[in-house]
Amino acid sequence: MFRKADFGDLKRITEIYDEIHTEEEAGRACIGWVRSIYPTRKTAEASIKKGDMFVEIEEGRIVAAGILNQEQVPEYADAKWDYDVPDDQVMVLHTLVVSPKVGKKGYGSRFVGYYEQFALEHNCHYLRMDTNEKNRAARTLYKKLGYKEVSIVPCEFNGIKGVRLVCLEKKL
């Protein structure tokens, strides 16, 4: 089940961020995020306040979360997109997280499927997202789901220096 997140979900979303940071710090994952920089409780709080944070629930527990909106980050201006379309035709997925405690069960794929349906319901046939070049797991998943890597943009991203931002795109 998917739904818009509310402030009652903030603690669980933050727990998932912390789980991912712990996995990265232990060397069991390579996402490219940094604890206390990105993502943080403030990331989730701001998105819930704006109404663009969504959660995936399994057996009454949040297993994944992500931000869905039409806000393209400034770094996207440096990407070489295949589709030159007006911003109002583009939907963006930001900060997709799946709890490492329940990973490898298809939650990420299902969340992306929800994102695609959400985009169509909002008359957006062009999808964009990004990930850190280091995040091989996400890059593999997105490729499997039909997303094309169109550019790698060197930048400081969400306060993290030295990021090589992989920009991905798909037309529905």
As a whole number of angstroms, the distance between CA 71 and CA 97 comes to 18
CATH topology assigned to domain 2-171: Aminopeptidase (3.40.630)
Q: What are the counts of helices (DSSP H) followed by strands (DSSP E) for the chain? A: 4, 7
pLDDT confidence of residue 13: 98
Percent of the chain with pLDDT over 70: 100
Domain borders along the chain are 2-171
The side-by-side arrangement of strands in the sheet containing 90-98 is 2-4, 53-58, 61-69, 90-98, 126-132, 160-171, 148-157
- β-pairing verdict for 90-98 and 126-132: parallel
Instruction: Quick: pLDDT tens for 99-115.
Output: 999 978 999 999 999 99
Instruction: Quick: pLDDT tens for 66-89.
Output: 999 999 999 999 999 999 999 999
> Before 86, cis peptide (omega within 30)?
no
- Residue 31: helix, strand or coil by DSSP? coil
Q: Average of pLDDT values for 139-150?
A: 98
Instruction: Quick: pLDDT tens for 27-54.
Output: 999 999 999 999 999 999 999 999 999 9
As a whole number of angstroms, the distance between CA 109 and CA 102 comes to 13
